[in-house]
A and B are shown apart, each in its own frame.
Chain A
Amino acid sequence: MNAPLVVFFVLATMAILGAISLIVQRHPIHSALSLIVVMIALAGLYLLMGAEFVAAVQIIVYGGAIMVLFVFVIMLLNAGVEERTNFSKMAGLAGLPLTIALMGLLAAAVARSTDRVQAASTTGAVAPTKALAGLLFQDFVYPFELTSFLILVAILGAIVLAQREKI
């Protein structure tokens, strides 16, 4: 067993345990911390795949900004342990078989495509981040500019939603 495979299995186990912990924990702040573990593990996997920039963005934007926003809202709303309702068990009963069916479908698709999807060699001579910048600011420049507009609309929407009294 070579070293990258060991690293992969360690990080994958970390991610799966974090995701299970997200489901099992009853307090939202514990779920948020579990989700941060999943995101850090995924950033490690991106590094393993040679996607350094995506790994950095994952930690800074996801692990940093978005999860801080979540934790901030949880503390602002003083969210406690979630109460159990009768419907919860029914949702679990219906959701579990459906999820197993969904995962079976995904596993079948993955298994069918393994002969076509081969592990490629690591990215070649050009630095991945430099090539990514070229792609982002040349081929995808219009979607990129559109996302800035999307962010602007989201900021305005968040301000309008969260303000206390009407203007």
Chain B
Amino acid sequence: MIPTHYYLILSAILFGLGVVAFVSRRNIITIFMSIELMLNAVNLAFVAFSQAWNRLDGQVFVLFVIVVAAAEAAVGLGIIILIARNRQSLNVERVDLLKL
């Protein structure tokens, strides 16, 4: 049987890598994908705790997180399409004005 803290350490590493991607990348789509990576890391911790306490509430929560991530991806990618259409660039450095 695998100790639960192995999963938690893996989850922390993945979350940290997601933060690194979030702050170091300039492409808005990649930044959005790093948010998905962080959500996945949190899901892993949820399932690990659900297994550790032998309760299924954590897995239900993971399903809700996946639903919210799907909704977020739909709206976020719509916003990205709009930004790319208005600025002709996906670089977040060039998206620093509220009004063109």
Residues of B within 8 A of A87 (CB): 26, 93
Bound complex: CA A152 to CA B54 (Å): 33
Contact A35 B71 (CB under 8 A): no
Q: How far is the CB of B55 from chain A (nearest CB, A)?
A: 9
Interfacial residues, chain B to chain A (CB-CB below 8 A): 1-10, 12-21, 23-27, 29-30, 32-34, 36-37, 40, 43-44, 47-54, 56-57, 59-60, 62-64, 66-75, 77-82, 84, 90-91, 93
Bound complex: CA A100 to CA B73 (Å): 28
Instruction: Please encode chain A, from 46 to 81, with 1 for each CB lying within 8 Å of some chain B CB and 0 for all others.
Output: 101111011001100110011001100110110100
In the complex, A10 has a CB within 8 A of chain B: no
The listed residue (A82, A107, A121, A153) touching B12 by CB distance below 8 A is A107
Contact B24 A95 (CB under 8 A): yes
The listed residue (A119, A122, A124, A154) touching B71 by CB distance below 8 A is A154
Residues of A within 8 A of B73 (CB): 66, 69-70
Bound complex: CA A155 to CA B33 (Å): 20
Known: A38-B37, A154-B74, A157-B74. A110 touches B8 (CB 8 A): yes
Bound complex: CA A45 to CA B34 (Å): 20
Residues of chain A at interface, number, CB under 8 A: 86
Contact B2 A16 (CB under 8 A): no
Instruction: Please encode chain A, from 152 to 167, with 1 for each CB lying within 8 Å of some chain B CB and 0 for all others.
Output: 0111011011100000
Bound complex: CA A122 to CA B51 (Å): 8
Contact A15 B54 (CB under 8 A): no
Contact A51 B47 (CB under 8 A): yes
Instruction: Please encode chain A, from 109 to 145, with 1 for each CB lying within 8 Å of some chain B CB and 0 for all others.
Output: 0110110011111111000100110011000100100
Given A42-B40, A161-B79, 11 further pairs, Cβ under 8 A: A28-B29, A49-B51, A54-B43, A62-B66, A66-B73, A70-B33, A96-B20, A99-B19, A103-B13, A107-B12, A121-B54
